[in-house]
Chains A and B, each alone.
Chain A
Amino acid sequence: MSDSYQPIDPLRPDLDEGTNVARTHGAVVEDNAAITRERRVREDGMEPVSLWVIVSSAFVLLVAGAVLNAGGGLFNYHEYRVDGYVQREAPGAGDSGPATAPIMDALVKNGSKVYSTCSGCHQGDGMGDGASYPPLGGSEWVTGDTEQLAMIILNGVNGAITVNGRTWNTAGGMPAQALRDPVQLASVMTYLRNSFGNATGDVVTPEMAAAALEIYKERAGGSPTPPQATEAELKSDHAKMLSGEVMDPATVVDLETFQPVEAAGAVE
């Protein structure tokens, strides 16, 4: 045993003579067996970048480019939709065809809109005002022959006219209505004949309305302002139904062309 100062070797444990080095070392090894097994992490691999990585990265860059292209307008903070966006029609919507409905419903619905012009005089309930404008509900001119009704609408009426037992003779009579579209005319006629208490249950088809317009043109003889009709004329010349194929009110028609559709129940 020496009293002299010995330099400390950091690699050797601080020991006195009584320590069994082998046992101490064994304890270190055994207690920390897992640690002494460890190898060092080496990061000195210098392999070149694999071609697979480059090729797949290039492909992915293309895909990402396509994604960005789909968006467009990079870093525009005020555009919330793709530039020029307009809603697309549902694909295949054309295949199922336009909307359809039974012809009676379609015409009555449209006719109610056309009637708004008439309601100024004949009132919304079709009962007239009791003084100047005759009622339409229960009127034989409405529920009778369709040609008479068409002529009244297209030419107007002048002079005395008896409606439901009461004579009406308003100054100036009823003005002519400028309805030249067969669908509009057919709509309002069907509406009148099936509303306000009237229930003829039949439809005036656009075909019949077109025939009425022909009659109107013939009567007018080229004049843009033909004379109003009179009761006598209506009774003598026009007391018949308009020509045209009679259509079952339940026939399903295309709402744009008002032609019957082939397949029943071809609704969207």
Chain B
Amino acid sequence: MTFRTFSLGLLGTFSLPWLLIVVVPYATMQRIQPVEFNEDDDGRTGPYVPARPGRVTDGAAVYAANGCYTCHTQLIRPTYAGSDMWREDWAGVHVAADNIDTRRETSVFDFNGEAFAQIGLTRTGPDLSNVGHRAESYVKGTETTPEEWFLMHLYNPRGDFEYWSSCPSNGHLFTVRKKTGQGSGDALAVKARKGREVIPTADARALASYLYSLQKDDQVPYSLNYSPDKKRAIEQ
């Protein structure tokens, strides 16, 4: 084998896949256009833009820096790739009795506003695509808000919850300081040392807001809907 053969061979065998599976899809996906609703199929018009109320960008940065993606995923796979769609509370809200079924796979627009889609490495903890809905159901009937629930979970996942969790206690996202007077309105409803209260930092709030914004079950346009029961708007 001459050096010429070797270099041509190396160049050829690497640049072909480099182009086909790295560069071309990267360029193609950079240029994705929003999918439009249309009157006949969806009963509305306009582009499909998932609404993500909450501190998406800031919160995503805190999520990334704390390595939450090492244990949690944010991907609901189609039924040919996994059973995520069927697991309760993961893909959306499904109440058969009320004929409510908002479950759907992760769509290509679900990570808008984030720099890097935190698909995740493992599922040591549950998938977080719709954790906002789960938090809402956990606080239903109480006076806690979903963000407060998240803050409590981040502070001590093994606190007063119904299930065992191996999530780390993210105490570094909170400050424990001396209580003044009746205590701050921001203090977490957790037991702290006498005379002290636990205050979430800005990072904790951003993360809680980001987690609450994870409700990826909104209505997608007809062309992105893979449900077997989907009906066009004009046929309903």
Contact = CB atoms under 8 A, between A and B. Distances in A.
B228 A86 contact: yes
B28 A88 contact: no
Contacts of A75: 20
A80 B28 CA distance: 12
Contact of A89 (B80, B98, B226, B228): B228
A180 B105 CA distance: 39
Interface residues of B, number: 18
A268 to B, nearest CB: 7
Nearest to B79: A88
A141 to B, nearest CB: 31
Nearest to B81: A82
A252 B80 CA distance: 35
Given A77-B28, A99-B97, A85 B228 contact: no
B236 to A, nearest CB: 15
Q: Which 10 A-B pairs rank lowest in CB-CB distance, beginning with the nearest? A: A99-B96, A90-B86, A88-B79, A77-B28, A99-B97, A87-B226, A101-B97, A86-B228, A87-B79, A87-B227
Contacts of B98: 109
Interface residues of A, number: 22
A135 B105 CA distance: 48
Interface of B: 20, 24-25, 28, 78-80, 83, 85-86, 96-98, 105, 108, 226-228
Nearest to A77: B28
Given A77-B25, A87-B227, A82 B80 contact: yes
B108 A80 contact: yes
B122 to A, nearest CB: 22
A255 interface: yes
Contacts of A78: 28
